[in-house]
Amino acid sequence: MTMAKAARYMRDESALDNGQAIDVGPEGDKFTITTRGFTTAYIDRLAALQRAAAIRLNTGLPPASTDRVTPDTLPPSVQDECQAQALAEKCLLDISGLENMDGSPMTIEQFKAAILKRANMGLLVLALQAAGSVGMASKALLEDAEKNSQPPSAG
């Protein structure tokens, strides 16, 4: 039985904090998102947005209402809005290789605005996937390189 490698589940902290260029999209239609990973700043901002959304949704409801929500029970559409905003504010750094509808290159500001719209859920999913994969490959590659640079042991 082979043992699992911890490197597959660990991330490169520098890439998480400083960002990494990640290619996203289907084959033949890829573009690049430069993003930080899910840093503590992202997690804290997401939690604050979720708390604010729960307060906003509960405002005006009677105390005994069964329609009350918590930050953990937000409707999916509100949860998506919170994730998009936290991602735009704390993770996304740059974008390249993506065109607007008029053929002009999309800027990072336009991309951040686009992921906030429900109609652009596909872009939000790709941005979340990119942020989720930051540091994964580079950490595994770094550990493999270190292992391969070790002199063979005399056996």
Q: Which domain, by its residues, includes 82? A: 33-135
Name the band, by pLDDT with cuts 50, 70 and 90, for residue 135.
confident
Name the band, by pLDDT with cuts 50, 70 and 90, for residue 126.
very high
Render pLDDT for 69-89 as a digit per residue (tens, 0 to 9).
999 999 999 999 999 999 999
In a domain, 5, yes or no: no
On the 0-12 / 13-18 / 19+ scale of CB atoms within 10 A, 57 is middle
pTM score, whole prediction:
0.79
In a domain, 25, yes or no: no
Q: What span, in angstroms and rounded, lies between the C-alpha atoms of 59 and 55? A: 6
Cβ-based neighbours of 69, under 8 Å, separated by 6 or more: 54, 57, 58, 75
In a domain, 15, yes or no: no
Residue type, 12: D
Considering the chain, what is the average pLDDT of its residues?
87
The total domain count for the chain is 1
In a domain, 80, yes or no: yes
Task: Report which of 14, 34, 30 is spatially closest to residue 22, judged by C-alpha positions.
Answer: 34
In a domain, 107, yes or no: yes
Q: What span, in angstroms and rounded, lies between the C-alpha atoms of 132 and 57? A: 28
Which segment of 11-20, 33-42, 77-86, 126-135 scores lowest on mean pLDDT? 11-20
On the 0-12 / 13-18 / 19+ scale of CB atoms within 10 A, 25 is middle
